[in-house]
Amino acid sequence: MIESYKFGRIVIRGKKYTTDVIIYPDRVEDNWWREEGHYLNPVDLWAVVQAKPEVLVVGTGYSGLMRISPETEKHLREHGIRLIAERTSEAVRVYNQLCRSTRVIAALHLTC
């Protein structure tokens, strides 16, 4: 469960993070970085796909500047993973709703 989010800072299960994160059902990976920074490609989600979530919630940043490549969308579909991409504040809300009943992973960009 995500307790709070504001630009550049998120609190997950009582721990504060100041870098981009991927929230798996059993752990949080911090310092998440993408090969092309503000552009999300399939290679950036290799471990996510291996974890086989039903849903991937992507937080595209405070202002929504991170973009998701069409190849990434196709790659996720091919693996049966539903993609929900929103500005990070909305992605947090969606994740908190879904995490109670769905195998969901969140990949969240905390700035921009």
pLDDT of residue 39: 95
> Does the pLDDT of residue 37 top 90, yes or no?
no
pLDDT of residue 87: 98
Residues 6+ apart with CB under 8 A from 66: 34, 38, 39, 40, 58, 60, 109, 112
CA distance 50 to 94: 22
Mean pLDDT, residues 5-17: 97
Provide CATH code, domain 2-108.
3.40.1230.10
pLDDT tens digit string along 72-103?
999 999 999 999 999 999 999 999 999 999 99
pTM, full prediction = 0.97
CA distance 108 to 98: 15
The whole-angstrom distance between residue 3's C-alpha and the CA centroid of its chain comes to 15
Q: Is the C-alpha dihedral spanning 72, 10, 35, 29 positive or negative?
A: negative
Mean pLDDT, residues 2-10: 98
Structure tokens at 103: 């195998």
> Does the pLDDT of residue 47 top 90, yes or no?
yes
End-to-end CA distance of the chain: 23
